Amino acid sequence: MEKILLGHGSGGRLMHQLIREHFVPQFDLKELSDSAVIDLKGHSKLAFTTDSYVVSPLFFPGGNIGKLAVNGTVNDLSMVGARPLYLTAGFIIEEGFRMSDMKRIISSMADAAKNAGVRIVAGDTKVVDKGKGDGIFINTSGVGIVPDGIDLGPRHIKAGDKVIISGLMGDHGIAVMSERNGLSFDPPVISDTAALNGLVERMFAGAPNSAIRIMRDPTRGGVATTLKEIANDSGFCIVINEGRLPVSSGVIGACELLGLDPLYIANEGILIAVVSPDAEGTLMEEMRKHPLGKNSAIIGEVTDEAKATVLLRTSVGGTRIVDMLAGEQLPRIC
Amino acid sequence: MEKILLGHGSGGRLMHQLIREHFVPQFDLKELSDSAVIDLKGHSKLAFTTDSYVVSPLFFPGGNIGKLAVNGTVNDLSMVGARPLYLTAGFIIEEGFRMSDMKRIISSMADAAKNAGVRIVAGDTKVVDKGKGDGIFINTSGVGIVPDGIDLGPRHIKAGDKVIISGLMGDHGIAVMSERNGLSFDPPVISDTAALNGLVERMFAGAPNSAIRIMRDPTRGGVATTLKEIANDSGFCIVINEGRLPVSSGVIGACELLGLDPLYIANEGILIAVVSPDAEGTLMEEMRKHPLGKNSAIIGEVTDEAKATVLLRTSVGGTRIVDMLAGEQLPRIC
């Protein structure tokens, strides 16, 4: 009998399969980005997204499930070029959950919403019996307006385009995992959870709209899975250079110790953008002025040397194929 | 140490307290209706709502969690006078959940969306380890457009207004409870889960917009809790007549057997409307033409004989005060 596996929630290959085989034929999911962009005929375009958060533990270095839930949904909207405006919050709470933890989480959500400039306008609370949940799960859904003239998507990608990353890889995943397993690293690794809408606004202010082809936030499944999604959706080959991938020494150390690959570790405060080669310079300059973009780097480019493939040029001069996360590396990371 | 109780998810007094004390001061929840209505300055008004579904068992007479999740969110949008347009679906699935059940649920959601004329445009899937969830929880969020000229709310309520119910009370709660406890009633009780947007459209077509003051769907906490919310929010007294409350003989029998009050049982396919006395006749006529409104009835009226109170005139000639559900009557009913 076919059953749901932890890997179906990984963001990787199993999840893509579940979505493609079961959700897509039944629902109206057009492009498989996290936000739907809806044309309100005559009005502006609306972006609409949803995400449930089940991160364990609920509190980790740099944040908690509430902060993550607000920033994550703000980011999903930002990735389609929308200006995030309104959020809803749905809580599934396990009976016996401490009210003091509830308060901390709510207050983090309020702070995160304020920082991102969005408003939480509707909510829902359900309680399940003890042993039928895990403390608290939070769904945030969000809407935003896509400004006229902004239209992102894999169809705009061309050979020669550059691939940008806005910050260090792997911090969120390693921070959650270290908290979960009682590990500590030196220097300590702190989740990068942050709202990217400010950085995105600066990017659009600094370059013509059409220079930015597509943006994605590499959460579950990490940078590798996100790049592979972009390669699949556009049909192009993406070649990245291992030596250019920004990773902190803390994350490198943790990954070496634990046998993990930073390319597959979840991030919650960085974005990947494919941009036109003419705009690369100005974009880098603009992004680096923003606190969340100070480690921005060009990590690779789009080519047509293979179809729907991601290639990694390693530091020692080799080339390897980068695939989606298969199965589950770190469950319940967001 | 203060903890979350099952009653915090009841829809009743404890939940209202949680929302008022913890959510309202931190978030931007203006009126405590289920949908936020957002004025997009120059564009139409957008309604935006969210609901998580944790019903147990997942399958029950008349529906399942998927059908419920679509209809429930369509109804929340309909209750603010919006035309429901787009939904998102967020799944939290327990490891080991049967794929065949997943398929049945997804297919019910697709059918329900089709019937209601809405589209599911974005989704999210998370998987939690076995023992940390309960099969599947579903969040649906929804957006809709509020047509120009429609503006519902407790501030429009006046003394002399009539209170309408669109159908039989208590079917959903009793259906779920009978499935949960392996009971069966004769005649059997089937959940009333249904999308109310068609009925609401007919109501607006049949009466001037301003004739409908407010609408609510009496889900968790039942008709009593919903009426008490309306009384609180408007400051008026609502007087209802026990003899006019439409209840099926199956629900009456089940409630007598189990010591439950149909006024507090959850419904998923009926609405309560406060309407102007001039429009009462035409509205009744229009509503009764619709399959979901054929048992519509005037159950009471708005008076100023007391502040923020609901009074029930009993069949034997007495009067009793109707309060919100206190604690939890039937947990996890939606």
- pLDDT bracket for residue A36 (50, 70, 90): confident
Q: Is the pLDDT of residue A43 over 60?
A: no
In a domain, A14, yes or no: no
Spatial separation of the C-alpha atoms in residues A199 and A79, rounded to whole Å: 11
CATH number at residue B224: 3.90.650.10
Its pTM stands at 0.94
Q: What is the pLDDT averaged over residues A225-245? A: 96
| Residue A140 sits in the same domain as residue A248 | no
Spatial separation of the C-alpha atoms in residues B173 and B180, rounded to whole Å: 11
Per-residue pLDDT tens digits for B256-298? 988 999 999 999 999 999 999 999 999 999 999 999 999 999 9
Higher pLDDT, A246 or B20: A246
CB contact under 8 A, A54 and B126: yes
Q: Which phi and psi (to 5°) does residue B217 adopt? A: -100, 125
In this complex, which of A6, A110, A123 lies closest to B129 when CB atoms are compared?
A: A6
Task: Provide the number of structural domains found in chain B.
Answer: 2
Q: Is B216 within 8 Å of B77 (Cβ atoms)?
A: no
In a domain, A20, yes or no: no
- pLDDT bracket for residue B320 (50, 70, 90): very high
Per-residue pLDDT tens digits for A265-290? 999 999 999 999 999 999 999 999 99
Residues of A in contact with B18 (CB under 8 A): 125
**Number of Cβ within a 10 Å radius of residue A210:** 13
| Residue B121 sits in the same domain as residue B199 | no
CA–CA min distance B304, chain A (Å): 30
| Residue A94 sits in the same domain as residue A181 | no
Which of A217, A134, A223, A170 has its CA nearest to residue A62? Answer: A170
Residues of A in contact with B122 (CB under 8 A): 29, 34-36, 48-50
CB contact under 8 A, B121 and A46: no
ipTM of the complex: 0.94
> Tokens at residue B101, please?
């059940």
Q: Is B68 within 8 Å of B55 (Cβ atoms)?
A: yes
Mean pLDDT over all residues of chain B? 93
CB contact under 8 A, B8 and A145: no
| Residue A120 sits in the same domain as residue A161 | no
Which of B233, B146, B33 has its CA nearest to residue A121? Answer: B33
In a domain, A12, yes or no: no
In this complex, which of B51, B106, B137 lies closest to A22 when CB atoms are compared?
A: B106
Spatial separation of the C-alpha atoms in residues A240 and A250, rounded to whole Å: 22
> Tokens at residue B24, please?
């309202």
CATH number at residue B53: 3.30.1330.10
- pLDDT bracket for residue B31 (50, 70, 90): low
| Residue A177 sits in the same domain as residue A123 | no
In a domain, A195, yes or no: yes
| Residue B106 sits in the same domain as residue B39 | yes
| Residue A164 sits in the same domain as residue A308 | yes
Alpha helices in A4-47 (DSSP H): 13-18
Query: Is the bond preceding residue A262 a cis peptide, omega within 30 degrees?
Result: no
Q: Which of A107, A123, A146 is the last residue of a domain?
A: A146
Q: Which phi and psi (to 5°) does residue A178 adopt? A: -65, -40
| Residue A166 sits in the same domain as residue A142 | no
Q: Which of B129, B146, B163 is the last residue of a domain?
A: B146
CB contact under 8 A, B125 and A19: yes
Spatial separation of the C-alpha atoms in residues B150 and A236, rounded to whole Å: 49
Spatial separation of the C-alpha atoms in residues A266 and A246, rounded to whole Å: 14
Q: Note down the domain range covering A40.
A: 31-146
Q: What is the pLDDT averaged over residues A88-92? A: 96
Per-residue pLDDT tens digits for B173-215? 999 999 999 998 888 899 999 999 999 999 999 999 999 999 9
Query: What's the number of CA atoms in the CB half-sphere (13 Å) around residue A191?
Result: 28
- pLDDT bracket for residue B23 (50, 70, 90): confident
- pLDDT bracket for residue B43 (50, 70, 90): low
Higher pLDDT, A26 or B90: B90
Residues of B in contact with A97 (CB under 8 A): 3-4
Which of B313, B324, B159 has its CA nearest to residue B240? Answer: B313
CB contact under 8 A, B4 and A109: no
- pLDDT bracket for residue A24 (50, 70, 90): confident
CB contact under 8 A, A127 and B4: yes
| Residue B39 sits in the same domain as residue B111 | yes
Spatial separation of the C-alpha atoms in residues A81 and A163, rounded to whole Å: 17
Q: What is the pLDDT averaged over residues B12-18? A: 83
Query: Is the bond preceding residue A208 a cis peptide, omega within 30 degrees?
Result: no
Residues of A in contact with B90 (CB under 8 A): 50-52, 90, 139, 141
Size of interface A-B (CB pairs under 8 A): 270
| Residue A139 sits in the same domain as residue A279 | no
C-alpha B306: how far from chain center: 26
Per-residue pLDDT tens digits for B91-109? 999 999 999 999 999 999 9
> Tokens at residue B271, please?
């609405």
| Residue B117 sits in the same domain as residue B172 | no
In a domain, B23, yes or no: no
* pLDDT score at B18: 85
Q: What is the pLDDT averaged over residues A22-37? A: 76
Spatial separation of the C-alpha atoms in residues B227 and B263, rounded to whole Å: 10
* pLDDT score at A83: 94
